[in-house]
Chain A
Amino acid sequence: MSRAARLAIAALRRAAGGLLLLVGATFVIYITIRSAPGDAIDAISPMGTPPDVKARLMEEFGLDRDPFTGYIAWLMRSLFGDFGESLVFSPGAPVMEVVLPAFGRTLLLSASALVACLILAILAALLLGEPSRRQQLLTGPLYVATAAPSFVVAVVFVQFVNWGIKAFLVEGGYVPPSWYPLEMYTESLVPYVFAGLTLIAGDGLFMDFFNSVRADLNALRNAQFIAAVKAKGARTLGHIARNMVMPLLSGYAARLPIVLGGVVIVEYVFTLDGGGYVLLEAARERDFPVVVGLSVLFTATIIAVNLLTDIIRALVDPREVAHGG
């Protein structure tokens, strides 16, 4: 069999596995949510609603079925892209219509933060090179800084902006400080910039990337095959880059769940209307279809990224195909 064919088969098998995982994960999420003691009906029906009226509402919202049959029905419908309708958050609206735009913003925010972080980490690693003695002294404090959870970083940012430089950053808006000389037209972007910076600095994201990039760079510089390549007169950078792709990719994939968790909190602190906001708000209102839909999106993203990583890894490194599957 040709390599391409084997690759394709491996990729298909991975994809099937991923889909199976997704189904399993949605089952866990759906059952968890439906096991709630009280449900959306109690949260929205007025006090003293007669039982027969409640029963009618239950039926209307599809909560009268037991969780397992409910799940099967939900799964069947969602296979065709119908994730049900929102109960409270946006009554009657198809879940994906509510959830997708918000989740898109979240994804955009996390993705740009990850990319920016990677670029920054590579630049920093190239600039700083091998750690000198003086830099080694800094390791301790830097290590402590990597442990700062993103929401702590966010709180520090907000406090610094609002009370340190006397600007105003709250509720998805921004007002520049009175001493700021220039006319500003991009106020609405500022909270996103800060949120991105928070994601980069928080949860040790930047330091992790930086450390791994630097370690890889140093290892590669000293590696023998580079010397061989150099002897052949080829350019070293391309080879280094290719050999760095894989660890970085794995790092990315492993990082994504943490960033997606952090982004929920960061959105809350900066009050951005992304998936995190919708998730917390819908959970507060017990809007189960929206919560399930959103959780599925979060999970699907993680699975998809893992899948993609595997495939790229297989493309870059032929040995992976043999191992994979």
Chain B
Amino acid sequence: MGDSRLRVGLYLSGTVVGLVLLLGVIAPFVPYDPADAVDYDQLLQAPGMGHIFGTDGQGRDVAMRLLKGTEAFFLPGLMAAALATVFGALCGAVSGYAGGWLRGGVLGTMQLIDTLPRLVFIILVCTILNPSIYLIAFVAAVLFVPSIATVIRRRVEALGSEDYILAHVAHGFRPVRILLYHILWLQCRPLLIRQATYVFGYVLFVEVALSYLGDYGVQEPDPSWGNMVAQARGLRGVSAWPWAVPAVAIVVTIAGFLAFGNLLARADEEEVR
């Protein structure tokens, strides 16, 4: 891929990511009361002045709900991404670097978690415990630890036998420092970025999917992109705005995060070299 195209992609996806981050940061400070938002005089308005994305079947402003809907996945997504990356990296590094029962134990646990069907398991947990988006994010993070750990472990195994790491060992660096700084930070950074954005995208996906299913995610009247899309069923083709806008937002956001992670990682890789 050409350098210029990489940059264009990075800018484009970066804009999406930046925008979502911005919305996610300001959303909690925008006052919104779902009870007050209902306006029966303004049902299903087309986009126009006052309502840039129109209104939904209860007269609520779609743009406003889109903005407040970011709350549903923003913090949980960041939390899950951080959790999964940290634990994934640690597990990966430990299983790649250490030996014996520690390695075996970590590998076994990882393999066990990895065999659980993700969405099915999340639905299961949500039925059992009181569903909350933080719970979903936590479970998603746990479920993603193995895939991150595997990627990191392969890298660490490959690096472990390379000369310059051996040289560090010979110079008497502490193994923890070698592992955390020289291997994880310097060598695996691109991988970690890619995985972190992927987890964030997945949490968004799970949140919208579960909210769409109705019983598990964010509950109406609180807005979530997923329960906004779910309105499609009741609208009977009268207006597409209330569900099409969040649907596009979902697709663009997930794509933006995945692309940003990929491209950033690629750019970083080139720099590392």
Residues of A within 8 A of B (CB): 21-22, 24-25, 28-29, 32-33, 35-37, 140, 143-149, 151-152, 155-156, 158-159, 162-163, 257-258, 260-262, 264-265, 268, 279-280, 283-284, 286, 291, 295, 298-299, 302-303, 306
Residues in A neighbouring B215, C-beta threshold 8 A: 280, 284
Residues in B neighbouring A156, C-beta threshold 8 A: 247
Given A279-B123, A295-B120: A21 and B115 within 8 A (CB)?
Answer: yes
Say whether A28 contacts B117, CB under 8 Å: no
Residues in B neighbouring A291, C-beta threshold 8 A: 124, 127
Closest chain B residue, CB of each to CB of A18: B115
Say whether B116 contacts A25, CB under 8 Å: yes
What mask results when residues 101 to 139 of chain B are scored 1 for a CB within 8 Å of chain A, else 0?
000000010011001111111011101110000000000
Given A24-B112, A265-B209, 17 more pairs with CB closer than 8 A = A21-B111, A21-B115, A25-B112, A28-B116, A36-B128, A148-B254, A149-B208, A151-B209, A152-B250, A262-B119, A264-B123, A265-B212, A279-B120, A279-B123, A280-B213, A280-B215, A302-B117
Does chain A have a CB within 8 A of B245? no
Closest chain A residue, CB of each to CB of B229: A155
Residue from the list B119, B125, B236 in contact with A264, Cβ < 8 A = B119
Say whether B243 contacts A155, CB under 8 Å: yes
Say whether A29 contacts B124, CB under 8 Å: yes
Residues in B neighbouring A24, C-beta threshold 8 A: 108, 112
Could you tell me the distance in whole angstroms from the C-beta of B228 to the nearest C-beta in chain A? Answer: 11
Give CA–CA (A25, B112) in the complex, Å: 6
Give CA–CA (A261, B115) in the complex, Å: 13
In the complex, the 8 A-B pairs of residues with the closest C-beta atoms, listed nearest first: A163-B237, A261-B119, A147-B255, A147-B254, A283-B127, A144-B255, A36-B128, A298-B117
The CB with the most chain B CB atoms within 10 A, among A33, A159, A264, A284, is that of: A159
Residues of B within 8 A of A (CB): 9, 12, 108, 111-112, 115-121, 123-125, 127-129, 201, 205, 208-209, 212-213, 215, 229, 232, 236-237, 240, 243, 247, 250-252, 254-255, 258-259
Say whether A283 contacts B119, CB under 8 Å: no
What are 23 A-B contacts with C-beta separation under 8 Å?
Answer: A29-B116, A32-B124, A36-B129, A147-B251, A147-B252, A147-B258, A149-B250, A149-B251, A155-B212, A155-B232, A159-B240, A159-B243, A163-B236, A257-B117, A260-B117, A260-B120, A261-B117, A261-B120, A264-B120, A279-B123, A283-B123, A298-B120, A299-B117
